[in-house]
Amino acid sequence: MQFNRIKLLKKQLCDFFPCHNFDIRKIKLVCVGFKIAKEEIVDVFDHATVFNKNTPHVELANELIKRGHHVILVDYQPTSEMMVIDFAEKIKKRLPENIQLYGIKLQETETSFAEWYAHEN
């Protein structure tokens, strides 16, 4: 699963800020959010092969690691729906007390995605 960082950043900033009305507090908040998402999600999961650590294919995961591939073992079935829950938890742990995570969308393709919203959880 690849993360198109530049496109996401540009789209999010353009959607978040009208070009004629910049509020430095909002910019700082967005930058903090992107920094957390980059450190916790993008830098860790980008270009990784993710396996459930209880998979019967753990030998394959270990072989890929030996061959220099970026492999992550998680304690859940790594579907988009489960990964978005994991990502939400990772991000929420790093947010300042006065900031709440609203939602996350993990998009694999144009039509395949998973969403998580705080008000539903």
Nearest by Cα to 91 from 13, 32, 51: 32
Domain boundaries, the chain: 5-47+79-120
Rounded Cα distance, 31 and 46, in Å? 19
Taking only the tens place, the pLDDT of each residue in 89-109 is 999 999 888 888 888 888 888
Taking only the tens place, the pLDDT of each residue in 20-43 is 444 444 445 555 678 888 889 989
pLDDT number for residue 31: 59
Taking only the tens place, the pLDDT of each residue in 71-93 is 999 999 999 999 999 999 999 99
Collapse the DSSP code of 13 into the 3-class scheme (helix H, G, I; strand E, B; otherwise coil) and give the result.
Answer: helix
